[in-house]
Amino acid sequence: MQYIELIGWLGNILIITQFMQKDMMKLRIYGTLGGSIWFIYACILGTVSLAVLNFLIIVIQLYHIRKLLKERKSDIFSEQVN
C-alpha cells in the first residue's frame, strides 16, 4: 500500500470516529481533522472536486466549533453572574 492510500485511510478513520461521538465538540473536531486529511489527500491526487468539498466541510466545521465555543463561554459567564 502506498503512503498516499494511507493518508486516505487515516481520513476515513477520523470521519468514522466523528460519527461515533456523542459530544458535539469532539464530533466537530474529528470532522475538521478528517476533512483536513481528505483535503490533503485530494490535493495530492489532484482531485479538485474532492478538495473543494473538503475545504467547505472544514469551513463549516470550524464555524460550528466557533459557535460552540461562544455558547460555552456564554454559559460560563451566565453561571458566574447567577
Residue 49: domain span = 3-81
pTM of the model: 0.84
pLDDT number for residue 27: 96
- Between CA 35 and CA 12, with CA 52 as vertex, the angle to 5 degrees is 30
Domain count, the chain: 1
Compute the mean pLDDT over every residue in the chain, rounded to the nearest whole number: 92
- For 17-48, the pLDDT digits (tens) are 999 999 999 999 999 999 999 999 999 999 99
